[in-house]
Structure 1
Amino acid sequence: MKANKATVLTFAEKCKSILSSNWQGQLNTIKADAKGSKEDIYTSKVKYICKRGKPYLWVPEKELHNVNVVVDERCSFAVTNPIPGPLASLLRSLRKTPPRIALTGEVVPLTEEKVQSATKVLREVIWSEQKAMSESSYTVSGILSSSDHSCTSRSESLKELLEAESSVFISMSDCDYPRVRSCMYVDGSGDTHKIDTEDMAASKADLLAPLSAKLIDGINQSAARRRALMLFCCSYLNANAKDAYVLSIDRKGFEVLSKVPSPGFKDGFGQFEWKEFRLSLKEEARDVEAFCRQLVEMEEEAVKEVSGHSGLA
């Protein structure tokens, strides 16, 4: 099923959504010492939050990055679309990688005033996720509670930053002028797409992004919901799936990774392959509640259709 442009996010929107869905990325800086910049690259994982689409990075005080950026501000920052749980293991076995983005530019240390502002945003991010979970409906809470909390809770992962002694950087953008030099989107097949920095700045993150990791894992951890995904393949895509996982979600729809018969074995016997499909929502989901409501409606419709075809309706 090939989705048209109206039913998918733009690459710039996908980049913003990946930034908003994750909370840690890979920071690369150029090694430096008292004699100046070196050619070697120093790499480590750092945690971050997004404020108005811009990543604020927390770098431990003893990290070499702190020395490097004083001498050479150039850096790159890579963030992967978070895919935890059984789907992550499956992708590794298939030698597939989740979509990811790579930003290049410069970083500067924050002033004390901006450190306080970033810390305030950090508290707001943690509070907003916890609030969304506590006030969610029965359907939404059922999906979220099925996920692996230790791997998908952004709020829990960021809480330790409130107590840790760390330096804070505003990564590759400032309120006065842009510091992003390039942005690249790398899809699951490894194909790269260069994003115009102006498009990136103008785009907004998908509103589902902050809880997307929990939603994806919650659906994939549920045997009943995975059976529903298989029904979707049958009802909406005319594909005889033997297994299925949600690969990604957004306000316009979601991608499903399904185990279907290989070409030449369409009778359901023989070899199988994992193939990606796109399913569009009837209307854009402005929040998690709307997405889950439409997901349940699709499940009910798929059950009715399959039951009707089997003479059970």
Structure 2
Amino acid sequence: MNPEETHTISQVGGGAAAAAEPVSKTATTVPAASYNLRCPGVKRLMREAAELSTPENEFSAHPTETNLFEWHFTIRGPEGSDFEHGIYHGRIIFPTEYPMKPPSFILLTPNGRFQTEEKICLSISNYHPETWLPSWSIRTALVALRSFMLTPGNEGAIGSINFPPEERKKLAIKSRNWSCHECGPIIKLLPVQIPDNSKSAKEVGNGDATTGEVTPSDVAKKPETPEIAKLQSSVEAPTPNGLAKDSNPVTTPSTATLNAINNQETATTVETNNFTLEQQQQHNEPIKNIIYDLGIGCFIVLILALCFRRLLSIFTQV
């Protein structure tokens, strides 16, 4: 580990370097006595360590035994891609200013998309602090990292490579037997799921290299949060060779959806027609008033003409 990547207890804890109980790889608690609890980064990382204490189906993450500001993570390869059957392990190095500044991501497992043992240049990493948002969490960053695996590797980007699909699939199979010197076999860090046709798809424990795991292709995906949507909108720029691969096919709208759209369009048309008729009535109202006034004026003129003629005849006889 490079010295600049390590945050010692004295750096974060305000000089409190007393020995403390080590942190478990999946522990929900951190040796709080060794850190300055007034530090925003310490409070944030301890809270996220508690939230991520239970591994999820797609990823898991935990601080190392000796340093709260260095985490190890494990992610499952995105479904429907060259990485589908792979399990990938890496490190996260947090600055003391976290969450105001972004962390660094390092992949340890060969994968064919990112270089190993090298910091990755992404919009969620320390290479682009201008795109980082303090509201993003470790969970959000790991979900975004899985999405970045589906994008083409840009030539010249730091930590980016672009292996052929066949090589990526081979590395995905080999990754299941990969072992971390601190965490052990990485296949045990993610839960195993039973097939969908067995009445339920709940987690049944940690797998190993002998039993393997079953990953259903049609497992329901969790809804995307606004944070994740924002991250996906800021993925690496497409290369001239092509755009990122789309793993989600376009679905056809259902009949109920089409009916709802038609009903809405019909209601809008009726409302528009009613509004048009009302406009016509308002436009015709002044014309009716003018005709009415003109009729009354003509009647008055006729009465006056008759009266004038009568008077004229009387004066003529006299």
> Which is higher, the Rg of structure 1 or of structure 2?
2
Greater RCO, 1 or 2 (C-alpha within 8 Å, sep 6+): 1
Q: TM class, shorter-chain normalised?
A: under 0.3
TM-score by length of 1: 0.25
TM-score by length of 2: 0.25
